[in-house]
Amino acid sequence: VLFQIFDAFKPRLHDSNSKVSQVALEALHKMIPVLKDNLSPVINMLIPAIVDNNLNSKNPGVYAAATNVIQALCQHLDTSLLLQPFCTKAQFLSGKAKQDLTEKLA
């Protein structure tokens, strides 16, 4: 069931309308403390969706929402679940997103 929910939710994180992406990120931020480590099956799908467009966004609302989600993941999930997806994404990012993710890894 979790896969079905997040398969439907993930495109909202990639939406070309920045308001849609921002609201999706804000909703995800609220879900993380509730779901915690239950997100582990979908974390490899979520991290790229959160990071790819949103962490380098020129829109301050989208960028802030993305950084809040990353922070919530670090607070509420076992960090060992995040290590591999963060490392993988950090290798291929550029700009502020690479810097932000590298700081989280450190």
> Residue 106's pLDDT is what?
86
Question: Which among 6, 11, 14 is positioned nearest to 43, based on CA atoms?
Answer: 6
Residue 5 φ/ψ, nearest 5 degrees: -65, -50
> Residue 41's pLDDT is what?
95
Total domain count, the chain: 1
pLDDT in tens, 50-99: 998 899 999 999 999 999 999 999 999 999 999 999 999 999 999 999 99
pLDDT in tens, 22-46: 999 999 999 999 999 999 999 999 9
Structural domain boundaries enclosing 20: 1-104
Q: What is the largest CA-CA distance in the chain?
A: 36
> Residue 88's pLDDT is what?
93
- How far apart (Å, rounded) are the C-alpha atoms in residues 62 and 43? 20
Whether the Cβ atoms of residue 62 and residue 22 lie closer than 8 Å to each other? yes
